[in-house]
């Protein structure tokens, strides 16, 4: 049976992995919408290859290039509103993989349609957790987590009651700097930070992994996806990235989801849900891996997880401020304007200075985001 799919953020790493799976099962899928921010040429090629109904660029200035790229093969559109309209088109599943707050509007549009959303946009639940989860309940939508950690938890919870959960543990690779000293971290470069030892990811998320902020953001996401209480959520460093997360139950049993460090595995779990599908991954060879190790996070050298935990404990607008400030600080680091170890400092200073009221709508979230970004930019001047 053919199923329909829209991919928001088709030219990013999650989008590329999703399309690779669809390409291998082409007769099973009908592509409704593909979107990108500004990669008009690449998006046009993908739209033609997959016979998409519509291709959309978020940067309206790239619309002319997109129209040239798609020709008469499909509809082309540009701008923020066009992204939301594409996300609202009927589809059996919408993969939400637009990076940053640019993805909030399209994610909400897909949720309000009441469809199934495979969520890879961290900002949706970090910045707008209550707003998004309230909308999911109101419109009867289904959220399937794409992040490997949350997808692992989702799989470990299958067939069990959330009331029986004693603890959920997110695993973290520790990033490329796990064994570095303070002096080495002070001198870390963008080129070093984006070289993740296990995962092939974009620059921003790779830096987040290096600071451990990625795990802090995932901690906040898990709080919204799996409401067991903050005291039942934990983080452990697991350098091999074989166990993607664990769920401990009140009878002492702990279930763990294992798999290779490839996003096609959790994406396939979402695409086939509630069933399974083939992937091109080789079988996991535990004898070859040989050893799985675990360590407590070092929040002295990597304070980001503490900062994120304190933000979600504070609640209100704090997680949205955290996310916005982190994006500003990471961008400054990648541009060579901020030291690696100052990223978390800028985020913490912004949280202290920027305290808007709790958002109750998507517009409120975007207003908080804008205010926090301005505040973070001011923090950079003294960083």
- Burial-class residue 179 by CB neighbours within 10 Å (0-12, 13-18, 19+): exposed
Q: What are phi and psi of 13, to 5 degrees?
A: -65, -40
Q: Would the pLDDT of 80 be above 90?
A: yes
What CATH number did the domain enclosing 350 receive? 1.10.1740.10
Tell me 278's DSSP state: -
Going by C-alpha positions, the residue among 360, 323, 65 that lies closest to residue 216 is 323
Q: Does residue 266 fall inside a structural domain?
A: no
Task: Indicate whether 256 and 346 sit together in one domain.
Answer: no
Task: Indicate whether 139 and 94 sit together in one domain.
Answer: yes
Q: Find the range with the poorest average confidence among 23-32, 96-105, 124-133, 260-269.
A: 96-105
Calculate the CA 23 to chain-centre distance: 23
Q: Does residue 185 fall inside a structural domain?
A: yes
Residue matched to tokens 């912004």: 350
Calculate the CA 379 to chain-centre distance: 25
Q: What average pLDDT score do residues 356-382 get?
A: 95
Going by C-alpha positions, the residue among 151, 146, 172, 149 that lies closest to residue 245 is 149
Q: What is the pLDDT of residues 220-231, one digit of tens each?
A: 999 999 999 999
Tell me 163's DSSP state: G
Q: Would the pLDDT of 123 be above 90?
A: no
Task: Indicate whether 154 and 140 sit together in one domain.
Answer: no
Residue 77's pLDDT band (boundaries 50, 70, 90)?
Answer: very high
pTM confidence score: 0.94
Can you give the residue range of the structural domain that contains 103?
A: 3-145
Going by C-alpha positions, the residue among 294, 303, 143, 110 that lies closest to residue 227 is 143
Number of domains in the chain: 3
Q: What is the pLDDT of residues 125-149, one digit of tens each?
A: 999 999 999 999 999 999 999 999 9
* Strand-pair category, 243-249 with 254-258: antiparallel
Task: Indicate whether 345 and 226 sit together in one domain.
Answer: no
Task: Indicate whether 28 and 86 sit together in one domain.
Answer: yes
pLDDT value of position 198: 73
Instruction: Take residue 86 and report the two structure tokens written for it.
Output: 């594409």
pLDDT value of position 234: 98
Residue 205's pLDDT band (boundaries 50, 70, 90)?
Answer: confident
pLDDT value of position 12: 92
Give the SS3 label for residue 268: helix
């Amino acid at each position: 049976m053919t199923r329909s799919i829209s991919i928001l953020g088709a030219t990013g790493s999650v989008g590329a992995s999703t399309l690779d799976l669809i390409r291998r099962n082409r007769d099973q899928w009908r592509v409704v919408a593909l979107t990108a921010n500004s990669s008009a040429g690449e998006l046009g090629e993908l739209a033609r290859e997959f016979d998409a109904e519509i291709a959309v660029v978020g940067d309206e200035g790239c619309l002319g290039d997109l129209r040239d790229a798609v020709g008469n093969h499909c509809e082309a559109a540009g701008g923020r509103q066009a992204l939301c309209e594409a996300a609202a088109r009927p589809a059996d599943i919408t993969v939400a993989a637009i990076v940053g707050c640019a993805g909030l509007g399209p994610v909400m549009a897909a949720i309000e349609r009441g469809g199934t959303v495979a969520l890879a946009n961290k900002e949706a639940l970090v910045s707008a957790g209550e707003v998004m989860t309230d909308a999911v309940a109101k419109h009867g939508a289904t959220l399937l987590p794409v992040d490997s950690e949350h997808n692992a938890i989702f799989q470990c919870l299958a067939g069990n009651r959330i009331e029986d959960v004693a603890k959920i543990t997110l695993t973290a690779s520790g990033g490329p700097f796990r064994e570095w000293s303070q002096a080495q971290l002070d001198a870390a470069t963008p080129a070093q930070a984006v070289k993740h030892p296990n995962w092939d990811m974009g620059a921003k998320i790779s830096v987040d992994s290096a600071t451990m902020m990625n795990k802090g953001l995932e901690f906040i996401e898990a709080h919204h996806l799996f409401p067991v209480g903050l005291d039942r959520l934990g983080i452990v460093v697991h350098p091999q990235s074989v166990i993607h997360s664990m769920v401990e139950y009140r009878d002492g049993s702990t279930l763990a989801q294992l798999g290779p460090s490839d996003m096609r595995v959790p994406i396939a779990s979402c695409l086939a849900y509630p069933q399974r599908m083939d992937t091109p991954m080789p079988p996991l060879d535990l004898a070859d891996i040989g050893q799985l190790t675990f360590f407590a996070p070092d929040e002295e050298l990597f304070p980001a997880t503490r900062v994120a935990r304190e933000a979600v404990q504070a609640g209100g607008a704090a997680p949205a401020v955290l996310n916005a400030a982190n994006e500003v600080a990471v961008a400054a680091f990648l541009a060579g304007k901020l030291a690696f170890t100052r990223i978390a400092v800028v985020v913490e200073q912004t949280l202290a200075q920027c305290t808007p009221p709790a958002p109750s709508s998507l517009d409120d979230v975007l207003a908080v985001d804008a205010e926090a970004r301005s505040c973070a930019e001011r923090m950079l001047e003294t960083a």
